[in-house]
Amino acid sequence: MGKLVFIGLGLFTGDLPYRAVEVIRRADAVFIELYTTVLPQDYIEYLIKITGRSDFKILTRSDLEDRGGEDVLEVAAKGLAVLLVGGDPFVATTHMALRVEAERRGIETEVIHSSSIISAIAGATGLHVYKFGRCVTLVYPQPEVGYIPYSTYEVILENIERGLHTLVLLDYRHEEGRAMTIPEAVSILLWLEERLGVEKSIRDRVAVGAARVGWSTEFVRADTLANLREVDFGAPPHVLVITGDLHPTEVEALEVLCHLPRELAIKLLRRR
């Protein structure tokens, strides 16, 4: 049997692990999915330049989720197949189904890890990584078909009750050319709050908006959740963090690294 190697592309151009380049060069086929995260526009050109090959096969969500990645498995059954994924391969949990199926068919699998927003967000914000609770994804509501993401808001509340921060990943629809922005996310969360009729609003809670983390144009701002709706974060990818209880060193980092307004920082420190 052959082999299937999952390779993380990291967060920005140049993050591709060095040992992955040789694997890509000798693979029988290299597949890349572009629907789980926003990558720089020149990423394919970068891959062509450093690997010397230009026959990358772009996969859609349907190829992997509806068709089970059969095109990938067909190559991997006889030779060496590579699947390139933005960030770290299995932060997008949908890819684990493909790995499990490959192993069931007797295909050897390997993972070459890379940087991910899950770990990078702590460095970008100064928040303590061990104080993050459950991570959630906020998707666009579709009330016309009865889908409203109440569970995302409910997880945020659960984390707050436990004093934990929440990393909110934002919806990305590659096929539609649509990526949720931080101002959109804030509006959706406050809309969900109104529909749920919660007693205590999160609109004045300190939150952090982070755009293009790991890119040369990284932009991070901390303020009340409602105020972040007025900030221009530029192009996606965007993520949002709703804070739980803040340690003084976290408050200091938010003020210095994320430009948390001084009056908010003082207010937070006085609560302790």
Does position 270 have pLDDT exceeding 70, yes or no?
A: yes
Name the class of domain 3-112: alpha beta
Same topology between domain 3-112 and domain 117-270: no
Domain spanning 117-270: CATH 3.30.950.10: yes
Q: Using a pLDDT cut of 70, give the percent of the chain over it.
A: 100
Cα→Cα distances 142→147, 175, 192, 207, Å: 5, 17, 12, 25
pTM: 0.93
CB contact at 8 A, 244 and 159: yes
* Tens-place pLDDT, residues 134-193: 999 999 999 888 899 999 999 999 999 999 999 999 999 998 999 999 999 999 999 999
Name 221's bridge partners.
Answer: 209
Which strands, in side-by-side order, build the sheet including 219-224? 136-138, 166-170, 238-242, 206-211, 219-224
Q: What distance in Å separates the CA atoms of residue 2 and residue 7, rounded to the nearest whole number?
A: 16
What the block records as the tokens of 82 is: 């590579």
What the block records as the tokens of 46 is: 């970068």
pLDDT at 272: 64
* Tens-place pLDDT, residues 225-237: 999 999 999 999 9
* Tens-place pLDDT, residues 75-86: 999 999 999 999
Domain residue ranges in the chain: 3-112, 117-270
